[in-house]
Protein backbone atom coordinates (compact mmCIF):
# COMPACT_ATOMS: atom_id res chain seq x y z
CA UNK A 1 0.00 0.00 0.00
CA UNK A 2 1.19 3.53 -0.77
CA UNK A 3 2.25 6.18 1.69
CA UNK A 4 -0.55 8.35 3.07
CA UNK A 5 1.37 11.30 1.62
CA UNK A 6 0.68 9.82 -1.83
CA UNK A 7 -3.03 9.58 -0.98
CA UNK A 8 -3.07 13.24 0.05
CA UNK A 9 -1.40 14.15 -3.25
CA UNK A 10 -4.33 12.57 -5.11
CA UNK A 11 -6.46 15.33 -3.55
CA UNK A 12 -3.83 17.98 -4.34
CA UNK A 13 -2.93 18.20 -0.68
CA UNK A 14 0.33 17.97 1.20
CA UNK A 15 1.49 18.33 4.79
CA UNK A 16 3.80 21.00 3.39
CA UNK A 17 0.94 23.17 2.08
CA UNK A 18 0.71 26.74 3.36
CA UNK A 19 -2.99 26.15 4.03
CA UNK A 20 -2.42 23.27 6.46
CA UNK A 21 -3.87 23.91 9.91
CA UNK A 22 -2.77 20.83 11.85
CA UNK A 23 -0.80 17.64 11.32
CA UNK A 24 -0.83 15.49 14.42
CA UNK A 25 -0.85 11.87 15.50
CA UNK A 26 -4.01 11.14 17.49
CA UNK A 27 -4.06 8.34 20.04
CA UNK A 28 -6.83 5.81 19.25
CA UNK A 29 -8.33 6.47 22.67
CA UNK A 30 -8.56 10.19 21.91
CA UNK A 31 -10.98 9.92 18.99
CA UNK A 32 -14.36 8.33 18.26
CA UNK A 33 -15.69 8.06 14.70
CA UNK A 34 -19.40 7.22 14.56
CA UNK A 35 -19.00 5.70 17.99
CA UNK A 36 -16.12 3.44 16.98
CA UNK A 37 -12.40 3.48 17.72
CA UNK A 38 -9.79 2.79 15.09
CA UNK A 39 -6.82 0.63 15.93
CA UNK A 40 -3.28 1.51 14.93
CA UNK A 41 -1.72 4.89 14.25
CA UNK A 42 -4.08 7.76 13.40
CA UNK A 43 -3.06 11.00 11.72
CA UNK A 44 -5.23 14.13 11.72
CA UNK A 45 -4.34 16.42 8.82
CA UNK A 46 -6.46 19.57 8.75
CA UNK A 47 -6.83 22.21 6.04
CA UNK A 48 -8.97 25.35 5.71
CA UNK A 49 -11.86 23.57 3.95
CA UNK A 50 -11.58 19.93 5.04
CA UNK A 51 -9.65 17.54 7.23
CA UNK A 52 -8.37 14.02 6.76
CA UNK A 53 -8.33 11.17 9.27
CA UNK A 54 -5.76 8.60 8.24
CA UNK A 55 -4.96 5.22 9.74
CA UNK A 56 -1.40 4.18 8.90
CA UNK A 57 1.30 1.72 9.86
CA UNK A 58 5.08 1.86 9.91
CA UNK A 59 6.43 5.26 8.96
CA UNK A 60 3.57 6.33 6.67
CA UNK A 61 1.99 3.20 5.10
CA UNK A 62 -1.64 4.05 4.33
CA UNK A 63 -4.23 1.60 5.66
CA UNK A 64 -7.53 3.48 5.38
CA UNK A 65 -8.87 6.96 5.91
CA UNK A 66 -11.60 9.57 5.56
CA UNK A 67 -12.03 12.99 4.02
CA UNK A 68 -14.28 15.14 6.21
CA UNK A 69 -15.87 18.26 4.71
CA UNK A 70 -15.90 21.54 6.67
CA UNK A 71 -17.01 23.96 3.96
CA UNK A 72 -20.80 24.10 3.60
CA UNK A 73 -20.67 25.13 -0.05
CA UNK A 74 -18.59 22.02 -0.79
CA UNK A 75 -21.08 19.92 1.15
CA UNK A 76 -24.04 21.32 -0.79
CA UNK A 77 -22.27 20.93 -4.15
CA UNK A 78 -21.18 17.37 -3.40
CA UNK A 79 -24.69 16.34 -2.36
CA UNK A 80 -26.19 18.03 -5.42
CA UNK A 81 -23.80 16.29 -7.81
CA UNK A 82 -24.57 12.95 -6.19
CA UNK A 83 -28.32 13.75 -6.23
CA UNK A 84 -28.58 12.93 -2.54
CA UNK A 85 -30.96 14.62 -0.10
CA UNK A 86 -29.16 15.71 3.09
CA UNK A 87 -31.84 14.26 5.36
CA UNK A 88 -31.42 10.84 3.75
CA UNK A 89 -27.95 10.75 5.32
CA UNK A 90 -29.12 12.16 8.63
CA UNK A 91 -27.65 15.62 7.98
CA UNK A 92 -29.66 18.40 9.58
CA UNK A 93 -29.74 22.13 8.84
CA UNK A 94 -27.83 23.96 11.58
CA UNK A 95 -28.88 27.50 10.64
CA UNK A 96 -32.66 27.02 10.55
CA UNK A 97 -33.21 29.89 12.98
CA UNK A 98 -31.26 32.34 10.83
CA UNK A 99 -33.10 31.20 7.68
CA UNK A 100 -36.47 31.64 9.43
CA UNK A 101 -35.53 35.13 10.65
CA UNK A 102 -34.52 36.26 7.16
CA UNK A 103 -37.67 34.75 5.68
CA UNK A 104 -39.86 36.55 8.20
CA UNK A 105 -38.15 39.85 7.36
CA UNK A 106 -38.52 39.07 3.65
CA UNK A 107 -34.76 39.33 3.25
CA UNK A 108 -32.48 37.10 1.22
CA UNK A 109 -32.19 33.78 3.00
CA UNK A 110 -28.76 32.22 3.58
CA UNK A 111 -28.18 28.77 2.05
CA UNK A 112 -28.60 25.81 4.40
CA UNK A 113 -25.56 24.86 6.46
CA UNK A 114 -24.90 21.28 7.57
CA UNK A 115 -21.51 21.40 9.29
CA UNK A 116 -21.86 21.28 13.07
CA UNK A 117 -19.00 21.96 15.48
CA UNK A 118 -19.37 22.16 19.25
CA UNK A 119 -16.89 22.66 22.05
CA UNK A 120 -18.27 22.66 25.58
CA UNK A 121 -16.54 25.10 27.90
CA UNK A 122 -14.37 23.09 30.25
CA UNK A 123 -14.99 19.94 28.21
CA UNK A 124 -12.23 17.68 26.91
CA UNK A 125 -13.50 17.08 23.38
CA UNK A 126 -14.46 18.76 20.13
CA UNK A 127 -17.61 17.38 18.51
CA UNK A 128 -18.00 17.46 14.72
CA UNK A 129 -20.99 16.33 12.66
CA UNK A 130 -20.74 16.62 8.88
CA UNK A 131 -20.38 14.93 5.50
CA UNK A 132 -17.46 12.71 4.57
CA UNK A 133 -16.32 9.65 2.65
CA UNK A 134 -13.52 7.04 2.64
CA UNK A 135 -10.38 7.86 0.68
CA UNK A 136 -7.77 5.97 -1.33
CA UNK A 137 -5.67 6.37 -4.46
CA UNK A 138 -8.58 7.74 -6.51
CA UNK A 139 -10.75 10.85 -6.59
CA UNK A 140 -13.83 9.04 -7.93
CA UNK A 141 -16.11 7.35 -5.44
CA UNK A 142 -19.62 5.89 -5.64
CA UNK A 143 -22.26 8.17 -4.19
CA UNK A 144 -23.07 5.41 -1.72
CA UNK A 145 -19.74 6.16 -0.03
CA UNK A 146 -21.02 9.54 1.20
CA UNK A 147 -22.01 9.40 4.85
CA UNK A 148 -22.70 11.56 7.83
CA UNK A 149 -19.86 11.33 10.33
CA UNK A 150 -20.10 12.13 14.02
CA UNK A 151 -16.60 12.65 15.36
CA UNK A 152 -15.42 13.28 18.89
CA UNK A 153 -11.75 14.22 19.23
CA UNK A 154 -9.75 15.16 22.32
CA UNK A 155 -8.80 18.84 22.29
CA UNK A 156 -5.07 18.32 22.74
CA UNK A 157 -2.35 17.86 25.33
CA UNK A 158 -1.14 21.46 25.44
CA UNK A 159 -2.43 24.95 24.48
CA UNK A 160 -0.62 25.04 21.12
CA UNK A 161 -1.85 21.60 20.05
CA UNK A 162 -5.37 22.45 21.26
CA UNK A 163 -5.38 25.63 19.17
CA UNK A 164 -4.12 23.90 16.02
CA UNK A 165 -6.54 20.96 16.32
CA UNK A 166 -9.44 23.39 16.75
CA UNK A 167 -8.48 25.23 13.57
CA UNK A 168 -8.01 21.90 11.81
CA UNK A 169 -11.47 20.51 12.57
CA UNK A 170 -13.64 23.66 12.76
CA UNK A 171 -14.96 26.06 10.13
CA UNK A 172 -13.25 29.41 9.68
CA UNK A 173 -15.42 32.36 10.62
CA UNK A 174 -15.14 35.85 9.14
CA UNK A 175 -12.18 36.82 11.33
CA UNK A 176 -10.39 33.57 10.47
CA UNK A 177 -10.96 34.20 6.74
CA UNK A 178 -9.42 37.63 7.12
CA UNK A 179 -6.44 36.09 8.86
CA UNK A 180 -6.16 33.49 6.08
CA UNK A 181 -6.13 36.23 3.47
CA UNK A 182 -3.29 38.03 5.20
CA UNK A 183 -1.39 34.93 6.28
CA UNK A 184 -1.64 32.90 3.10
CA UNK A 185 -2.78 35.22 0.34
CA UNK A 186 -5.17 32.42 -0.69
CA UNK A 187 -8.44 34.31 -0.34
CA UNK A 188 -9.27 37.34 -2.49
CA UNK A 189 -10.79 40.57 -1.23
CA UNK A 190 -13.98 39.70 -3.14
CA UNK A 191 -14.25 36.39 -1.30
CA UNK A 192 -13.72 38.11 2.02
CA UNK A 193 -16.49 40.64 1.31
CA UNK A 194 -18.71 37.81 0.06
CA UNK A 195 -18.38 36.11 3.42
CA UNK A 196 -18.97 39.33 5.36
CA UNK A 197 -22.05 40.57 3.49
CA UNK A 198 -25.20 40.18 5.55
CA UNK A 199 -23.29 39.18 8.66
CA UNK A 200 -22.50 40.91 11.91
CA UNK A 201 -19.57 39.93 14.06
CA UNK A 202 -19.83 40.65 17.75
CA UNK A 203 -22.45 43.31 17.02
CA UNK A 204 -20.33 45.03 14.38
CA UNK A 205 -21.88 46.18 11.13
CA UNK A 206 -20.56 45.22 7.71
CA UNK A 207 -18.82 48.59 7.42
CA UNK A 208 -17.13 48.13 10.82
CA UNK A 209 -15.83 44.68 9.97
CA UNK A 210 -14.68 45.56 6.46
CA UNK A 211 -13.03 48.71 7.79
CA UNK A 212 -11.07 46.78 10.39
CA UNK A 213 -9.99 44.27 7.75
CA UNK A 214 -8.71 46.85 5.31
CA UNK A 215 -7.03 48.80 8.14
CA UNK A 216 -5.17 45.63 9.09
CA UNK A 217 -4.29 45.01 5.47
CA UNK A 218 -2.91 48.52 5.11
CA UNK A 219 -0.78 48.16 8.25
CA UNK A 220 1.10 45.24 6.84
CA UNK A 221 0.17 42.62 4.30
CA UNK A 222 1.17 39.17 5.50
CA UNK A 223 0.92 40.08 9.17
CA UNK A 224 0.50 37.09 11.48
CA UNK A 225 -0.69 39.09 14.45
CA UNK A 226 -4.47 39.10 13.87
CA UNK A 227 -6.38 37.19 16.53
CA UNK A 228 -7.54 33.70 15.65
CA UNK A 229 -10.96 32.41 16.70
CA UNK A 230 -9.48 30.39 19.54
CA UNK A 231 -7.09 33.13 20.64
CA UNK A 232 -9.40 35.99 21.56
CA UNK A 233 -9.05 37.26 25.08
pLDDT tens-digit readout, 41-88 = 999 999 988 999 999 999 999 999 999 999 999 999 999 999 999 999
Residues 6+ apart with CB under 8 A from 193: 210
Residues 30, 154 contacting (CB under 8 angstroms): yes
Is the pLDDT at 225 greater than 50? The verdict is: no
Is the pLDDT at 148 greater than 90? The verdict is: yes
Any idea what the Cα angle at residue 167 is, between residues 158 and 36, rounded to 5°? 80
CATH number 1.10.1740 is the correct assignment for the domain at 4-71+115-169: no
Domain extents in the chain: 4-71+115-169, 174-219
Minimum mean pLDDT among 33-42, 115-124, 140-149, 207-216: which range? Answer: 207-216
Chain-wide mean pLDDT for the chain?
Answer: 81
pLDDT tens-digit readout, 156-180 = 888 888 988 998 999 876 556 565 5
Higher pLDDT, 32 or 48: 32
- Report the alpha-carbon distance of residue 20 to residue 18 in Å, rounded: 6
Amino acid sequence: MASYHRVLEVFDRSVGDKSIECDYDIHPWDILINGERWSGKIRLVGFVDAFFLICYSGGSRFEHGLMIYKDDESIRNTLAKADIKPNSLGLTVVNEKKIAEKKEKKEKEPPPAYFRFTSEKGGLDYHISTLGHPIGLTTKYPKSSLKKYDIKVRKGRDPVMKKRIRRGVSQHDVWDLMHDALRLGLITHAEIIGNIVGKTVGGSTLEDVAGKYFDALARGKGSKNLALSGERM
